[in-house]
Chains A and B, each alone.
Chain A
Amino acid sequence: MKSELAQVSVQPTSRLQLVKRQIYKERQLWLICIPMIIWVFIFSYLPMYGIIIAFMNYIPGKPIFSSDWVGLLHFKTFFHSPDFWNIIRNTLAISGLGIVFGFTAPIVLALLLNELRMKRFKRVIQTISYLPHFISWVVVASILFALLGNEGFINDMLLRLGIIHQPIAFLGEGKYFWGLLTTTNIWKDVGWATIIYLSAIAGVDTEQYDAGKVDGLGRFGMVWHITLPSIRPTIVLLFILGIGGILNAGFEQQLLIGNSQTREYHEVIDTYAYKYGIQLGNYSYGAAIGLLKSIIGLALVLGANRISKKTLDTSIL
């Protein structure tokens, strides 16, 4: 019994010593990291004390700690808001569509680009696919209005061809909004997101392809049996991070493309927090919604990571 206790008391000291020894061994690396650690601590962790206003009735201009403590009142207000279920539904639907289509589209594009043999053509296509990423949402919204408005190009064309007799309110009916936003997001970011997959593909050992050829694999077979398994860690990593951002369903897009007619389909957590928190001066309410979102996001990342660790033996932590 005595000897067991002695073992228990000794273990932490030896672990600490181990850590110390490790740090000493990597002291040059730690020295390089120190400024960044301090930077992250000051600018990312210290301001987090402000989260406390989510549990208070903070009044702008007054010191935070002089505000009344209200506990979970703002969370309850959000849960009881008539918009709550709509907002959650929209956020999950837009993000879900983004993950299903927006996540797979760059992988497919990267695989297709990798199969191109003409280098110059490949570069041109790549460059063209990046360009929309640099167009601001304000411009994208203008393009959409010109294309899909009641008097936009598409409606005009369909009317002239006699396919429709009344313009279709693509931008004025909620039922089109999710699809429209997902398509626009993919168009805008698919090229940019392929970069990381293309670099992962570039890292695949070419000998594997040679071996595949010898084994009689065709081009599709090589993609399926060599390329995809090789870039799987990258895909999993980005998927887990993407899951963490599942509640980031967009912000400028909704504010610029959405309107009162599509509100039931476009209002998401971020736009709601902005309107009801920042614009109305209810910072506490906005902070409570933001905090809730962060907690759910963190839980999802940890959950997805755990599943991935168990099933695919890949983890981000």
Chain B
Amino acid sequence: MKKTFMLLCSFIFAFSTLVGCSGESKTDDAAKTEQQSDTGEKKVNEFGWEVPNKTVEINFYSGQDNPDNVKKYQAELQKYILDKFNVKLNNIVYDVDKKEKLNLMLVSGDYPEVITNLTESEAQQWINQGKAVEIGQYMDQYGENIKKQLEPWFKSYYNEAGKLYMLPKSWGLLPIPDNSAHIRNDWYTAMGSPAFETPEQYYDILKQMQAAHPKNSKGEKTYALSSIAPVTTNMVPTVAGMYGLQNGYKVTKEGDMTHWVNTEEGLELTKFMNQIYRDGLLDPDTFVNKFDDWKAKFSAERIMGHIGPWWQSWNAGHEVWQKVNKDWKEEQRYVQVKLKAADAEKAYLSPKNARGGVFTIITDKAKNPEDIMKWMNFSITDMGTRLIGWGAPNQPDSVWKYENGKWSWVEEAKKAIIDATWDYAKSDKLGQYYLSLVEGQGTMKDDGHSTIWFDQNFNDEAKWKKIMNDNLKDTIYDNSIGSITIPANDPLLITKQQIDDQLETLWAKTVMSKTEDEMMKNFNDMKDKLNSAGLHDIEKYRSDVYKSRMASWK
């Protein structure tokens, strides 16, 4: 009896395994044949893409993120692209520091056929080791759109030996602001909207605002300003921009770059922050806050102003309030405002890198680099960019439609952006931007105004976005030449890290000085320590690269 039972079980197991295997192959075959037309001719889809007979699979690593979330978010667009293009894009992320993971990949040899979101120096590391495919060889045959779209920067991606290994992602100049000062709108208008222009005048208003709202509804103390650590990275470049510096550096016409610590403007901005601290109006956790800590305070109405990216006060401000407060009114929000120091010629708040700050390489694991090139040559087009940036069209939850070669917005989605009621969880679900490899973020060439960022397409119609753009329109600048990274394995990289670490510590100490004299002493000590740690070497390196780019990137 026992023997018979075991025999039966074995038979069922073996049979079901065989059935399962054969079923899968049938499905595969069916899927493959589906892509061929009855006549055997190649099928071209509505996007003008010649659908390959065999599924093209592109696995790409894109950095640190939550793998489960990314898998979930990319699923919808992934399926659409597989169905329509017979291309399977698979974005691989790990919940591990990107630098560590990349090094581990290099050591172990375990990496996918494409890697994206690499800084120029990271990409160079892969190229130096012969692990990146030279893609210049495919340009004439498969790169027509790539060449066209990347003008006038295209030649700058070639190395000195005339070889091309990397293509940029998020290239292009989108003339919308990124960083600015922010002020609590309803409280500001209640003050009679007094005019201000300089950081000092702005702080004066924040001070009055804090005096009017010294505690929040829970009785917790309020502050004029706060920030997110590391402050010298997250806030200082924007404050320095208010004093006329570019991304934390003073740049001469000849291309000499001086770090803000070594400038008069650097001292001025430190004095500005120290004054806020000495008045007891700088959040004492300013140099410790992680984003979530800061968000908790900000959404609890404890911070009057902010200096940083525009989305931060949206995300931690009205986007929270409209969910938790039934009586929320649209004026209850922060608006983004321009600040310019009295002596500054211009405020440089939003540096743009039109050449692209991150890059994509095809690795030596790619069996058919040509297929990957073909896909990138499509996805870099304006229509490819829409697909990657906005998600699949013509679906029940889509934000756009694409019919008979023409595209249009889904009015409901557009209205939600204009009314600032769009739920960004929907963007994730649509897979917006999750399958990006080489798409640009500037205005598209075919209509002159669309952009990959779905929510940035209606800035003239969206009231609050328009206010922001109008306030900050002359604070945006092209910083492509000034966007300089130090190559990996260059000893200067250690020096830079040491300086970055020391700067944050020493500047925190300077800002949190109890008297102006103490602040001056701490500032000078900081300057001396950083310069003796090699800050001048960094300045020289950057100046040399800047000047050489000025000559070669004309």
Contacts and interface: CB of A to CB of B under 8 A. Distances in A.
A82 B532 contact: yes
B550 interface: no
Given A279-B99, A283-B103, 19 more contacts: A60-B107, A82-B498, A150-B285, A151-B220, A151-B285, A172-B284, A172-B288, A259-B229, A260-B288, A261-B288, A261-B509, A263-B505, A276-B494, A276-B497, A276-B498, A279-B97, A279-B100, A281-B488, A285-B494
B536 interface: no
Interface in A65-120: 77, 81-83
B4 interface: no
Interface in B470-519: 488-489, 491, 493-494, 497-498, 501-502, 504-505, 508-509, 512
20 contacts: A59-B128, A60-B103, A81-B494, A83-B502, A150-B285, A172-B285, A260-B287, A260-B288, A260-B508, A261-B287, A263-B505, A276-B494, A278-B100, A279-B99, A280-B99, A280-B494, A281-B99, A281-B488, A281-B489, A285-B494
Interface string A161-191: 0000011010110000000000000000000
Interface residue tally of chain A, by bracket? 20 to 34
A259 B288 contact: yes
Interface of A: 57, 59-62, 77, 81-83, 149-151, 166-167, 169, 171-172, 259-261, 263-264, 275-276, 278-283, 285
Contacts of B505: 260-261, 263-264
B107 A150 contact: no
A276 B106 CA distance: 18
B533 interface: yes
Interface residues of B, number: 39
Given A82-B502, A82-B532, A263-B505, A61 B284 contact: no
A278 B505 CA distance: 22
A278 B107 CA distance: 13
Report whether over half of chain A's contact residues are helix, strand or loop; otherwise say mixed: loop
Contacts of B230: 260
Contacts of A167: 284
B129 A61 contact: yes
Contact of A259 (B102, B109, B287): B287
A181 to B, nearest CB: 16
Interface of B: 97, 99-100, 102-104, 106-107, 109, 125, 128-129, 131, 220, 229-231, 280, 284-285, 287-288, 488-489, 491, 493-494, 497-498, 501-502, 504-505, 508-509, 512, 529, 532-533
A308 B285 CA distance: 48
Given A259-B287, A260-B287, A282 B494 contact: yes
B229 A59 contact: no
A280 B497 contact: yes
Contacts of B287: 172, 259-261
A29 to B, nearest CB: 40
Contacts of A275: 497, 501
A150 B128 CA distance: 48
A280 B492 CA distance: 11
Given A83-B498, A259-B287, A61 B106 contact: yes
Contacts of B131: 61
Nearest to A78: B494
A257 to B, nearest CB: 11
Given A60-B103, A60-B106, A278-B100, A261 B489 contact: no
Contacts of A285: 494
Top 9 nearest A-B pairs by Cβ distance? Answer: A61-B106, A260-B504, A60-B106, A82-B533, A263-B505, A60-B103, A150-B284, A60-B107, A281-B103
Nearest to B128: A59
B338 to A, nearest CB: 29
A285 B102 CA distance: 18
Nearest to B530: A82
Contacts of A151: 220, 285
A259 B493 CA distance: 22
Nearest to B231: A260
Contacts of A259: 229, 287-288
Given A149-B285, A276-B494, A261 B508 contact: yes
